[in-house]
Copies of this chain bind each other. A is one copy, B any other.
Amino acid sequence: MLAISGKLIHRLTLYHGILTYTLCGQEYVSSNEIATLLKIDDSQVRKDIALCGVQGLPKHGYKVLALKKSIEQKLSFNKQKDIFVIGAGHLATALTQYADFKAYGINILALFDNYESKIGQMINGKRVFDINRLENLIGRMKIDTVILALPPQNAQEVTNRLVKSGIKFIWNFTPCIIEVPDEVVVCYENIVSGFLQLIL
């Protein structure tokens, strides 16, 4: 399933961020500019960019827009992925409002919650549905991927319902480890482990 390594994906998304935000408006970029911003090795940047099939021009470097597009193709940002968000609290709201999801091909269709006060609300243009409608809407809209952003105590019970409904990919933002059958893939978004690498 995984054609390119996690570390390469991580670096390419950082390069993409540089091209989108930091160097926006600039025509050319050198591997050295990117390497300096990220404090990594210049040769690493050149190697990664070569893997995207982009060639630089002597003395100019890479065309910003062309390089950005190649990274988007390499990481399949152009293939749109429809997903549901389970939960409608602050984290779910922050993710639904996350500006870059759309650019990365991640298309949030709807959110689900069991709080009456949240059901029917709109978050960044997406509706919050009653969690009781989960199975029905997964089937009707042919969804296979969800973001799990609900309280830990409900994580396993809701996961069981998701699996029964045919969900294949779970992007888990709760701190819980969830039990799923072999054919279901869970991505643990452990936000603390990145920070521990920073301070340890």
Chain A contact residues, CB within 8 Å of chain B: 1-4, 6, 9-10, 13-14, 17-18, 20-22, 37-39, 75-76, 81, 89-91, 93-95, 97-101, 104, 106, 145, 152, 169, 171, 175-177, 179, 182, 185, 187-200
Contact = CB atoms under 8 A, between A and B. Distances in A.
23 contacts: A2-B200, A4-B200, A6-B197, A10-B193, A13-B193, A17-B176, A21-B152, A21-B175, A21-B176, A22-B176, A38-B177, A39-B182, A76-B196, A81-B199, A90-B91, A90-B93, A91-B91, A95-B191, A99-B152, A104-B196, A171-B195, A187-B197, A189-B191
B197 A2 contact: yes
A94 B1 CA distance: 32
Total copies of this chain within the assembly:
2
Contact of A17 (B1, B20, B81, B175): B175
